[in-house]
Structure 1
Amino acid sequence: MAEFTKTLELKLVSPNTHKRQKLRETRDAYQQALQDAFAAGCDTQAAANDVVVEYDLSGYAKNALKKYVPQLCGNSYDADELHDDHPVRFTNEGLQLDHKPQNATEWYVKVPHHEDYHLWIPARANPEQREWLEAVYAADAEMGESRLFERDGTWYLHITVTRDVEDQSAVSADERTPPDESGEPCLAGLDRTPIGVDIGEASLVTVCHRDNSGSPVRPRLWADEGKTVRRLRKTYFTAKRRLQKRGSDRIAASYGESLWKQIDDVFHRVTREVVEYAESVENPVLVLEDLTHIRENMDYGEYMNRRLHGWSFGKLHAQIRYKAAEQGIPVETVNPRNTSKACHACGEHGSRPRQATFSCSNDSCWVSKYQADVNGAINIADRYRSGESHRRSGRTSGQKAGADDSATDGASLTGPQDSHADAETQQTTRGTHAS
């Protein structure tokens, strides 16, 4: 008999307008209380209680805050600043489950709002976790902390569950070390936690990994930074075109250098935070997409190709590599083919009805819609977990960057190459810490 812990995933099914509003009120009140308690430097539960007690939150959320804030303020995490969109945490008695197998949606969850006010909402579960969910309902497993968050307009719950299991069958295959080419377990990758790194336009960088049970946890998106870089690039092209028409090439060059310095500052901050994220994960390996494959497979039409070939994949890759090396964190690369098209849950190909949304084509998959960049990051991590990885692209160390600007050091990506100004992406990508 051994004790195992798993993170159960529940997707809240179509809450009505009233319940969505209440969920948003809970999230907003929680995040404000968290910000205020953190700003006050509450390093004890008593100090945190003095701050959060005034907020319209359930006792379960307040008690979770009283434990979490002192960790942030030095006891465990020693965070310098808070990131946006922290999930709402509830202590172990916060949620309640109900099972109605006769209904189309079998599971229902009671989410605390504030005081004695709760919301009963139908929920769809990951079918691979059904046995664990039934064990919780039958009180044969112990529910731990739960976390509520919104991603791309859909609400989710992650619930930590612990139970005694008699054999190893309850351990997800994702927890086992992938074999090497000989079929034997790969000792070099033993216990490595692959962190998928997806680089794009909507979210400049997105990272995510799976926990020991195989559940995607703690995705982080640098969406605001992506918006900032798009704005700076658009400003660059607009100003450059106007100045060149006036014959002011020298001023245009000077102005461009200033804007690209601002972009470089964003790149350095984001890549530093990516490495800090990796440092918070046990035995991490950062997994990037192979730049040569990205360039070879990039064919989105003439206009989008100009935009994406000017997007500094190489520079971001290079900064992540050397900053990770400084901290002793390994970096691997994988072929990115179809990482943005496949569903991380079932493997079926889907579509992207919006820039930030992945839609799975498999009607029986528990994931109907997912944040597209997070889906891609999970697939990148899974590709390493399956055994496919190589430390460098096909270019040898002696080769220099060519016109395909896929250099590992990003040397050729010193400025934008678009002939049109960037169009502002109209989709809003929300960042979230899902665990």
Structure 2
Amino acid sequence: MTELTETLELKLVEPNAHKHRKLCETKRAYQDALEAAFNANCTSQSATNDIVVNYDLSGYAKNALKKYVPQLCGGSYDAKELHDDHPVRFTNEGPKLDHKPQNAIKWYIKIPHHDDYNLWLPAQPNPEQREWLEALRAGDATMGECRLFDRDGEWYFHIVATRDVEERETSSASKETPIGVDIGEASLLTVCHRDERGSPTAPNLWNDEGKRVRQLRETYFTATRRLQQRGSERIAESYGYELWRHIDHILHTVTSEVVAYADQFENPVLVLEDLTHIRENMDYGAFMNRRLHGWGFAKMHAQIRYKAAENGIRVETVNPAYTSKTCHCCGERGYRPKQATFKCSNSMCWVSEYQADLNAALNIADRYLENRRLSTSTRISDSLDLSGESHSREHTSGDDSAEDGARLTAPQDSQAVNESLRDSFAHQKSKISGDDADTQQATLGTYAS
């Protein structure tokens, strides 16, 4: 079983004047209590309780504040100042969901106002998250912290939900279909795998989406900078929020399509690059840093992971070293004269020029397979050593299995993969004719030249 967590968004149907006033009162009391506790530098729950107990809030909002404020004051967040508009947080005991399928509006939420008064409000869920709401109502998912937002007069309610899903059985490497996933700037995402003969097959590149996201980000940075210079911070915040909602919609759509792509193959494994330290290693000047840090690596990784888990598809990670600068055919180091172009430096290789993101996706898939082979060979050797049937060998530290993210150092990992690919390339040259190479090259049409 795999545990999944999803934030469910419901838009509250426009409340009447009375309920709108009550929501505003809840928000104002929460903001006042939060500000008072933050200014008092409450670093513990008991200190926070001494402050917030005096405000007209439900116990569920006060308990959420007792957890949240210490995180702000020197805890995991260590905030220097408060943001203007914090959502109202509730612990999971207070809010309730109700479903009335006979009504035009089918979902209702109970929002605590104070200890003796609750608000029942109709809500429209995100259509893609109805399955999660059904799981919550049926008790197959658990409700976590909830948050109430006011966005320019429109009210939203977020519910953090958690549930367990079944995993597909883990297959042997020979029966798996590893699908390399490359996150890039030119193509937002690129996926590809190899067929039984080892030829690159069924590539998919999200180029238009990458272009659209770049345009939206550039619009965001330019427009908000100008608005802030004019002193229009609130307009800038509202405008920026709408742009990022559009970007998030694109990311959700593309990651869903990646999982759907994988689901059409037998025993698929989505292979991502382990990008744990990529942000710390970025230093390409202010303009490029801003663009690269806005890629949303973590967000796309997280979305692919939980959507894949919902479909029973495994996700693995590999070391990203040189995946974009290594030839997927011969393993030689090449170069990228342009963002979308890879050139192989090996004159004997049939690949002279290739689509760069596609080349990287194939290398990512190949690296996972090679790590599986190395891991299997290590286990067999260990077994032979323990039974006394082989000579002793020196064990190296670390674990290069795909299950642990293939955390090899870059030279070791790159060398092992490249040597294996070079051996495969030499073996293939001795077996097949030039016509086979032409066939392999034609598989991707315009992607290779």
TM-score by length of 2: 0.45
TM-score by length of 1: 0.47
- Point out which structure has higher relative CO (alpha carbons under 8 A, 6+ apart): 1
Normalized per residue, the structure richer in helix is 2
